[in-house]
A = this chain, B = another copy of it.
Amino acid sequence: MKRHHQVTIIDIARKLGISKSTVSRALTNNPNVNPDTRKAVLEMAKTLDYQPNMLALSLIKSETRMLGVIIPDIQKPFFAAIVSGIQHAVGRMGYRTIIAQSDESPQIEKENIQALMLSRVDGFLICHTRDTRNFDQIKMLYQKGFPLVSFARICQELPIPKVVEDDFNGLYTTTQHLIERGRRRIALLAGPKHLQASKLRYQGYTTALRQNGIAFDQELVAHTRFLTENVEAAVDRWLALSEPPDAICTIYDAGAIQVLQLLKKRGIQIPKDIAVAGFGNDPATGLVEPGLTTFEQRPYEIGLLAGKHMLDILKKRFTDTPPEITISEGKLVVRGST
């Protein structure tokens, strides 16, 4: 099955004995074309099954109608939902998305940015890896004038639109809820200290404690890199405490689920002995037993918002709209674990 010669406007022109300029005009609805000529062109185009070559068009317009989306891992439901939201938002305006996974590696993230830049995407929507601390690449994109949107794990150092989760409020609300349930020794399974989202959630937690006159106990906080080893170590440490926690609050659902399973394996009653709460309302939180109380996030909406921001930039390209930071609001979903 050999690839056919692609039909071009020149083929149409030749068949019709007219110039390619006229064919082009007819095809692009340019008014300066004799109706009969246009009709003939359109018919011939159909007959020959003509397909315009977007590559040539892109070359002229310096516009590919492709957006680069860089995420750590498409297999995480959170990111998959965001991607879906982005696609549905920008798809309506005829933009396609090239998805690149960084696999949580700053190095791969860098390579992806390079490659997509060479592919001449019209803009980037980026969620950094949990370990990205050097933002030179995205800054380089910014300097080159690429439309940029940062989401979830954002780059704070650039005045670009950002869409984030309801970080502070989420942990504040969840902690408050646990306190209302009578818990006083509330542990926190946190994330890397350098991540903005992680910082804000941590602050939500400490703020709730402070406002309720509960002393902050450094021993009850564990900073993780979102790895299973970290969770296990934290739980072990907490349970060995002379005064173990009566609640464990986490800043991410996968961690909460793991905590839940570790506690159950040790025969600890949930929520009687220890209450557990997550963050995100990941599909899995409704399936475990007891159901996990968690602060709902809407990743699909985050994607939608990020996509809309991108369309805004793309539309009024060179105007400087004040870059806003959009928070996708969430709400507490109370289940059996608290």
Contacts and interface: CB of A to CB of B under 8 A. Distances in A.
Interface of A: 1-4, 6, 51-56, 58-59, 62, 64-66, 73-75, 77, 80-81, 83-84, 87, 96-101, 115-120, 142-146, 257, 283-284, 287-289, 300, 317-318, 320
Contacts of A142: 1
Contacts of A96: 98, 100, 115-116, 119
B283 A1 contact: no
Given A53-B120, A74-B74, A98 B145 contact: no
B120 A54 contact: yes
Copies in the complex: 2
A84 B284 CA distance: 20
A289 B97 CA distance: 38
B144 A3 contact: yes
16 contacts: A1-B142, A1-B320, A3-B317, A54-B118, A54-B120, A55-B59, A66-B98, A75-B80, A75-B81, A75-B84, A87-B99, A87-B100, A87-B101, A96-B116, A97-B98, A287-B287
Nearest to A285: B287
Contacts of A287: 257, 284, 287-288
Nearest to A257: B287
B54 A119 contact: yes
Given A83-B99, A115-B96, A283-B284, A145 B74 contact: no
A257 B77 CA distance: 17
Contacts of A144: 3-4
Contact of A2 (B2, B99, B318): B318
A59 B55 CA distance: 6
Contacts of A3: 144-146, 317-318
Contacts of A84: 73-75, 101
Nearest to A96: B98
A294 B66 CA distance: 40
A123 to B, nearest CB: 11
Contacts of A320: 1
Given A2-B318, A51-B118, A55-B58, A83 B77 contact: no
B51 A117 contact: yes
Nearest to A317: B3
Given A83-B99, A97-B99, 18 more contacts: A1-B143, A1-B320, A2-B318, A4-B144, A51-B117, A51-B118, A55-B58, A56-B59, A66-B98, A66-B119, A75-B77, A75-B84, A80-B80, A96-B119, A98-B98, A99-B99, A257-B287, A287-B288
A66 B98 CA distance: 9
A63 to B, nearest CB: 10
Contacts of A116: 96
B284 A52 contact: no
A312 to B, nearest CB: 15
Nearest to A288: B287
A115 B93 CA distance: 12
Contacts of A74: 74, 80, 83-84, 87
Contacts of A83: 74, 99
Contacts of A56: 59
